[in-house]
Each structure stands twice: as structure tokens, then as C-alpha cells.
A and B are shown apart, each in its own frame.
Chain A
């Protein structure tokens, strides 16, 4: 039965993963972290993650343009890396997102995205 720590370990096993965390995006608080973070600061990274999610959720018109068309994941690519944000849909009230930082050279976006989808589902699936 995977717990939060196990989920993050698995995330770090994704090819090219440098760091991973689970972030509460209402407050920008890292609920759990592992590995490296941009600027070696998980808390600042989490706050930034929360801002990005809030912006996508509330200020972009393509999210929720139709009923039940909810945000699933966000991918930000930079010259040096991939930053993947996957919403963790719990049935109870929580606003969590799984964040994985991938190295640009070693990471594979498609593989990572599928693995994260599986991880986020397993974390909360019965």
C-alpha cells in the first residue's frame, strides 16, 4: 500500500528525476519533499508551484471551459529541465499537486507524464 514517502520514492525513480514534492496549492506549502529543489529551497519552490496552479486554475480561460473539464497536469519546460505538476484528486477536501523536476537531457516527457499519472492515481485509489 503506497504511502506519501513511497510515492515520492517512485517519483524519483522516473528517468531523469532530480527532485519531487507534494504541494498544497492553497497555501503553497510542501507537504512532503525529496531530492533537490530549484535554488535548493523546497518551500520557495512550493510557493511558486502554488502560484502557477492558481494562475492556471483561476486565470486561464481554457481550464474549466466546459463542466468537469478540470486541470489535470501542467508542464513547464525550461532550457535545462522539465517541471511537471500533476493534480492529486482526493475525494476528501484537499488541494494537492505532485511536482517532479526532471533533467532536460535524461528526462523523457512522455514517460514521466504517464508515470506521474499512475503515481497520483495509486496514491489515492482504493
Chain B
């Protein structure tokens, strides 16, 4: 094993291939990945941003999860999972080869398209799938370069590839035509899922997703990342982020204002709504938090902090922030009530932090319990995706 060093992974791949080595090239950084080399030829590649052979075959329903798991259990130790699947008649040789080839080039794009990341070569390591195809590393390097150029020709903004996907709320054109893949991506994007999440969820090649997302970015169908990616650390399994105006760090203490104003300003209770119900437009002070979907961006909690307190809702000036520092993790996403026509947000009652088990303040406890938005399907799905990625 060589010491971890910063290098261009593609160049190191050429080097180990030239020496006809066997082992795995582990690429750090984000998304990172691994390229498995057998006697100088690439036999497999994987990356967290690209669904692997198992995900492709099971997500599409081609193989039952149990069939795949059985093959893993039987063949992992002897590195012949791929051969087993063909021998047991679950896949044709052609299918397996095409699937592995696709997965190799897909993962190689994510693992090798970066410069100057920590790269390790672990000599002797093999992959449990076993050698199914042998690809010339030079062909891979060439193809990775070509794929980078292809994307830049479509829309030269690499941030699209790693930022959570949010469909544009209003389109900059009268009519759009979507491919089936673009449709799939749009209906599954919720402002939280990154392109890598979507690829895993849909069982689609990571590069194909990124390509369609760049096309949609070029057409103005998805929101563009507003801020430069400050640190190149897109988390591939994201913790839930605060959406919209949910991240109120400067919470006024409940006794500093009358109880009526602690109510959520949903349209379900128009009589108590402090906002004039005839006005469908949000108050101008709401402006920073209005695009609900864009609110998932990392930048928004910061802008929500900088935004002035909403005078429509809070008549008393907010109490000075509590001496305790704000929690590092923003609150889990709260669901916006589905009245996008008025674009009003569901604001949960603002409460001071209580001890565990302490009772609610009287004025809040007297009211009806807050509307439960229902099971958080999005979170459940994300947990499922994360668990699947761990397998």
C-alpha cells in the first residue's frame, strides 16, 4: 500500500496499469470512489455517486433483492458473485457484462474526474464481483475526459452535479418538452435530494442523471445553485436541512408576545390569520423565505438569520437571543402546508426551549395541537436509500 498522497487519480491509474499491478485505487474527496485493477486492466469501479451493479439490477427489478443477497453471501469470499449469477441462470452473460461495463464507466467518471485528491493504491485487493470484463485504463481515462467535456458543452456549471435538486417554481418559457428521464428526475426532486440520491433512488446511471440535470439547468427547469460550493463537501447522505423559514434561531420567548401571534399563519384558520386573507401575495418581509423549494439550500438559513424579524407576525421586538449558542444542526424540515397558491408557509408555534417532559406553556397548551403533517415520506425514503447504500 502506498502512502496516501494527493494526486490526479487518472494519472495514478495509468501508472499502476503500466506496471500491470493488481489492487484497488481508492480516490478520496467527494464523491470519491474506487477503481479495481487486475493485472493492469480495470475490472470494476465504484463511487457513492453512481449506483453499483447490485443497485442497478435490484432497483430496476431485474433481480430480486434476495437473489442478489444470496449471490453476495455465496460469492463474496471467493470473489465470484458475477459468475454465480450467470451460472445460476439469473442473468445472461451479456446482461452482466453490459451492466458491469456501464457501472465501471459511470463510477469512473465520478472517481476520476477530479484533480488533486488524496489517492491510495492498495496492492493485491480484489473486488467481490470478480472479473467480468477487462477494460483498458486508457480507454477509461479518455472517456472520463470526454464526458467532462460533454457536460460542459451542455451547461458549464459543475455545481449542478452535487447540489440538491429543486425544480424551478416558475419557468422562463411558455412550453417545455421533457424526456422520460427528465420527468423522472423532476418528480422525485424535492429540494433535498442530490443528483447522487436521485440516481440511487431511481436506479439510474449517475452520469445520465447529471447529464439530464445539466440539460434541465440549461433550460431553466431547475433552480441554479446561488452560492458557490464553499467547501467541496457535498454529503451524499444528507441530514435533513431546514426549509423555508423553519430555521428561526432568534426565537422570541413566548411570554414576550400575546398568544394569538404564536399561532401558525396557515390559511386553514383565516379568522386568526394576522395577514389580510384577501391578499394572496406574501408580505414583502416574507420575501427571503418565499421560494419554499429554494429554501433547502445551505445558503438560506444564513439569509434567514440576516432577514429582519417578520413584523406582521411578531409585533413585539424579539427577545435577545438566548445565551446558549444556536444548535449546529438546523431543525428537521417542517412541511409547508400545501397551499402553494398563496405561498404561505406553515409556521409552527414558536416556543422557548423546555426541559424534556416539561409541560407546554398555558397559552399554547390551550390551543388545538399543531397540525401533524403526516408521515415524513421523504425522510423515510432517504433512510431507506442510506441503508441500501450501506449494504
Chain A residues close to B by CB (< 8 Å)? 1-4, 6-7, 22, 24, 26-29, 31-32, 57-58, 88, 90-96, 122-126
Contact = CB atoms under 8 A, between A and B. Distances in A.
Given A26-B207, A126-B89, A91 B94 contact: no
In the complex, which of the residues B60, B86, B102, B208 has the most CB atoms of chain A within 10 Å of its own CB atom?
A: B102
Given A26-B205, A26-B208, A26-B211, A90 B99 contact: yes
Given A92-B57, A93-B208, A124 B94 contact: yes
Interface residues of B, number: 35
In the complex, which of the residues B105, B179, B205, B211 has the most CB atoms of chain A within 10 Å of its own CB atom?
A: B205
A29 B105 contact: yes
A26 B206 CA distance: 12
B146 A27 contact: yes
A52 B281 CA distance: 47
Contacts of B60: 91-93
Given A27-B147, A29-B143, A29-B146, A92 B208 contact: no
Nearest to B95: A124
A28 to B, nearest CB: 8
A65 B147 CA distance: 31
Interface of B: 51, 56-57, 59-62, 86, 89-95, 97-99, 101-102, 105, 133, 143, 146-147, 150, 177, 179, 202-205, 207-208, 211
A22 B208 contact: no
Nearest to B97: A4
Given A57-B179, A90-B62, A124-B98, 12 more contacts: A1-B93, A2-B93, A4-B133, A27-B143, A27-B147, A58-B177, A91-B62, A93-B60, A93-B102, A93-B204, A95-B208, A123-B94
B98 A90 contact: yes
B205 A88 contact: no
A122 B202 CA distance: 26
In the complex, which of the residues B98, B99, B102, B179 has the most CB atoms of chain A within 10 Å of its own CB atom?
A: B98
Contacts of A29: 105, 143, 146
Nearest to A27: B147
8 contacts: A1-B92, A24-B102, A26-B207, A92-B56, A94-B98, A124-B95, A124-B98, A125-B92
Contacts of B93: 1-4, 6
A31 B101 contact: yes
Contacts of B177: 58
A98 B139 CA distance: 20
Given A1-B86, A31-B101, A94-B102, A123 B95 contact: yes
Contacts of B94: 1-4, 6-7, 122-124
B203 A92 contact: yes
A93 B58 CA distance: 10
Nearest to A119: B94
A94 B104 CA distance: 13
The 10 A-B pairs with the shortest beta carbon distances in the complex, nearest first, are A123-B94, A3-B93, A91-B62, A92-B60, A1-B93, A92-B56, A4-B97, A93-B204, A92-B62, A26-B208
A97 to B, nearest CB: 12
B181 to A, nearest CB: 9
In the complex, which of the residues A22, A91, A96 has the most CB atoms of chain B within 10 Å of its own CB atom?
A: A91
A123 to B, nearest CB: 4
Contact of B98 (A4, A6, A26, A126): A4
Nearest to B51: A93
Contacts of A26: 205, 207-208, 211
B206 to A, nearest CB: 10
A88 B387 CA distance: 32
Contacts of B51: 93
Contacts of A3: 93-94, 97
Contacts of B105: 24, 27, 29
Contacts of B204: 93
In the complex, which of the residues B60, B89, B177 has the most CB atoms of chain A within 10 Å of its own CB atom?
A: B60
B309 to A, nearest CB: 48
In the complex, which of the residues B57, B90, B94, B211 has the most CB atoms of chain A within 10 Å of its own CB atom?
A: B94
A92 B146 contact: no
